[in-house]
Amino acid sequence: MNNLLKLSKRVIPVFVLLAASLVSSSTLAVKADAVQFSDVPSNHWAKSGIDTAVTKGYVVGYPGGLFMPNANVSRAEFIKMIVTATGQPVEETTGKWYESYVLAAEQAKLYVTSDFANSELEWNRKITRQEMARIAARAAGLETTENDKWMYLAAKAGLISGLGAGKLGEKENTTRAQSVATVERVLTVKGGGMLPTDKYAIGSAELAWHKTNIFTVMPEYFGYYGQMWTLYDSVEDQWDEDKLTLTSKDNKYVATLHELIAIDLEDPNDPNLKQIAPLNTLRWGYGEYGNAGHPVANYKKAFLLYWKSTVKNDAPDRYFSGGYAKVEILGVGKPNPKQIEGVLTMSAPVYHKESFDAPYSIIPKVAKEQLGDSIEVRISTPNSGYFFSYNDILDVLPFSEH
């Protein structure tokens, strides 16, 4: 009776799991009567996942027929949920209620102490979407040594979706509904299933990971193999962040690329369109004498590249930079053989009023036979004389070479 009184006084944590006998079950073949929660209407985006989670038994609701889908979740609560749902063996401990689940998570390598300190203060903090993504990715069998890559891996596997318009909300707290949805996706992947993905979320996660989204937006141009390709897990891993800063031979020009953003001009919902000037104000041209340029808005079968950079130029008479780095993707398209006016066949600068007044370029969508022997992403000095130098941030063979 005393134990029951103690239990009744304890406020049920955000996730209340079934008895310890269920924790060690790898299948969680637990059936329960369907529960109708008054705060989870039939059209709620996570209703199916919530119903499934309750049926499996690794989460239940609150008294009064409530689930509280928008309530935040602590790190400890999410660990308890993922450990139980994935059937990790849990040994009872005499410490805090969550310690046995933390120990199980450590043994399963879902949590490592470098994530955050193993302390009561840290485990009681609300879990962020970024932290949830890291745990979920590990639970699904994904691996990386780069802490800023977890969100990308989770998004690419379909474990994490965006919050709309490519927003990741990495630092935002996780809700009960989001947690249930994520755990169900982990179980789907572990069961050999495939998940739908959010390409905008993947692109944003790629940008947060290594300062570009070209692999998500322009995958048809990048093959797996490249220089010393056996050192890499994927083509994305060949992007060399150490080459993002270029120093000229005379040390008078230093340019750093902070972000390289690809925009699909055929996609009116591309979230990065909001970062650039209106398309009807932009023109492209190869710099021919007397060429007034061609409206970008009239050429949608292409990608627009936009980059953010900083430049230190101590020799402006030698390096005309326009205040931004010179960045190019080489090896896509071929020169216009007949010099037909207004036909885009290879990368061209994009400008507002005059050549080189904006950090934009346009690249046509071309067939495989129009790709070069290699595709290079290059940052270079803005001259071609003795002091010219460059860094190849990426150098890979296109798919047509496989």
Does 278 lie in the same domain as 141?
Answer: no
- Per-residue pLDDT band for 290 (boundaries 50, 70, 90) equals very low
| 183 and 225 together in one domain | no
In a domain, 227, yes or no: yes
What integer is the mean pLDDT of 3-23? 36
Are 244 and 333 found together in one domain?
Answer: yes
Q: How many domains, in total, are found in the chain?
A: 2
Are residues 100 and 151 both part of a single domain? yes
Q: Give domain status of residue 3, yes or no.
A: no
Instruction: Clarify whether residues 124 and 267 are in a common domain.
Output: no
- Between β-strands 348-351 and 360-364, what pairing exists: parallel, antiparallel or unpaired? antiparallel
Indicate if 85 and 227 belong to the same structural domain. no
Domain end residue (candidates: 184, 210, 236): 210
Residues 233, 86, single domain; the answer is no
Which tens digits make up the pLDDT trace of 122-137? 999 999 999 999 999 9
Q: Place 11 in a pLDDT band, splitting at 50, 70 and 90.
A: very low
1 in a structural domain: no
How far apart CA 339 and CA 289 sit, in angstroms, is: 13
At residue 102, the pLDDT reads 97
Residue 236 placed within a domain: yes
Q: What is the mean pLDDT of the chain?
A: 86
pLDDT on residue 27: 33
Q: Please indicate, yes or no, if residue 310 is contained in any of the structural domains.
A: yes
Cβ within 8 Å of residue 323, ≥6 positions away: 311
For residues 146-170, give the mean pLDDT: 94
Domain ranges, residue 41: 9-210
- Contact, 319 vs 277, CB < 8 A? no
Given a contact cutoff of 8 angstroms between Cβ atoms, the answer to whether 396 and 222 are in contact is yes
3-state secondary structure of 33: coil
Rounded to 5 degrees, what are φ and ψ at 391?
A: -120, 130
Please check whether residues 193 and 226 belong to one and the same domain.
no
Instruction: Give the mean pLDDT of 238-266.
Output: 96
Q: Are residues 177 and 260 in the same domain?
A: no
Please indicate whether residue 6 or residue 296 has the higher confidence score (pLDDT): 296
Q: Select from 210, 242, 275 the last residue of a domain.
A: 210
Claim to verify: residue 140 and residue 273 sit in the same structural domain = no
* Final residue in a domain of this structure, among 188, 210, 232: 210
Identify the pLDDT of residue 117. Answer: 95
| Residue-level pLDDT at 230 | 60
pTM of the model: 0.86
Q: Considering the domain boundaries, does residue 2 fall inside one?
A: no
Residue 304 confidence class, pLDDT cut points 50, 70, 90: very high
**pLDDT (0 to 100) of residue 270:** 96
- State pLDDT tens for residues 20-76: 323 333 333 333 455 789 999 999 999 999 999 998 888 888 899 999 999 999 999
117 in any annotated domain? yes
Residues 6+ apart with CB under 8 A from 211: 241, 244, 257, 258, 259, 260
Closest CA to 326 of 222, 249, 256, 266: 256
Considering the domain boundaries, does residue 4 fall inside one?
no
Residues in the chain: 402
Among residues of the chain, what percentage have pLDDT more than 90?
Answer: 70
Are both 240 and 374 inside the same structural domain?
yes
Name the band, by pLDDT with cuts 50, 70 and 90, for residue 231. Answer: low
Q: Are residues 203 and 239 in the same domain?
A: no
